[in-house]
């Protein structure tokens, strides 16, 4: 019983530390100019694909969080592998849609998205090795990627990422 409690405490502390590490990187985003912060504008069909992918990822991230806390390595490995493969750029798209993505998505977005999916792959490896420290680290870095991307490209969807100055300006 004490061992189970110790493991549970370890995971809770690890997850909280990971989230603190992830949020600690937010000030570094201040270097990104306000002009680089924009919502992504795609055709309705591509926007639907992107939203569907984000819903899948959100569900997977929740599953991974619970699986980390319970050391369910198989679930972590399977879920992170699914996230890795949910890459919108790898979807079966028409040539017109591929061209639209190529031109419509900012390079920073593409970089953050690619890094996120690479982290998912590393998380799958950590789970395969039953390495709680590496798995927690990779998960926290995935959360960091979410925070960075949403703060730059989805402020209308997540207004909490708007600066206090922007919020005050919008209310006057």
Report the alpha-carbon distance of residue 114 to residue 89 in Å, rounded.
9
Sequence spans of domains, the chain: 2-22+42-171
Q: What span, in angstroms and rounded, lies between the C-alpha atoms of 62 and 78? A: 13
What pLDDT score was predicted for residue 88? 64
**What pLDDT score does 18 carry?**
43
Q: In Å, how far are 10, 44, 82, 144 from 133, measured between CA atoms?
A: 10, 41, 21, 17
2-22+42-171 is a CATH 1.20.120.10 domain: yes
Q: Which long-range contacts (CB under 8 A, 24 or more apart) does 24-27 make?
A: 25/144, 25/147, 25/148, 26/147, 26/148, 26/151
In the prediction, which pLDDT does 97 show? 86
pLDDT, averaged across the chain: 78
Residue 131's SS3 state is coil
Per-residue pLDDT reduced to its tens digit, 31-90: 444 545 677 788 998 888 888 888 989 999 999 999 999 999 999 999 999 999 886 656
b (16+ CB within 10 A) / e for 134-158:
ebbbbbbbbbbbbbbbbbbbbbeee
pLDDT at site 40: 79
Residue range 25-34, pLDDT digits in tens: 443 444 444 5
| Greatest mean pLDDT among 4-18, 59-73, 87-101 | 59-73
């Amino acid at each position: 019983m004490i061992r189970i409690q110790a493991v549970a405490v370890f995971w809770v502390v690890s997850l909280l530390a990971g989230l603190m590490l992830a949020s600690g990187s937010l000030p570094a985003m201040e270097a990104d100019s306000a002009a680089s912060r924009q919502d992504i504008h795609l055709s309705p069909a591509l926007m639907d694909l992107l939203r569907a992918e984000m819903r899948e990822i959100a569900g997977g991230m929740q599953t991974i969080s619970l699986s980390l806390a319970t050391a369910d390595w198989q679930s972590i490995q399977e879920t992170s592998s699914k996230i890795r493969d949910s890459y919108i750029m790898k979807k079966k798209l028409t040539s017109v849609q591929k061209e639209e993505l190529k031109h419509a998505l900012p390079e920073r977005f593409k970089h953050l998205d690619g890094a996120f999916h690479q982290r998912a792959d590393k998380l799958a490896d950590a789970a395969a090795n039953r390495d709680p420290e590496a798995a927690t680290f990779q998960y926290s870095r995935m959360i960091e990627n979410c925070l960075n991307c949403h703060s730059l490209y989805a402020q209308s969807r997540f207004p909490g990422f708007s600066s206090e100055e922007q919020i005050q300006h919008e209310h006057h």
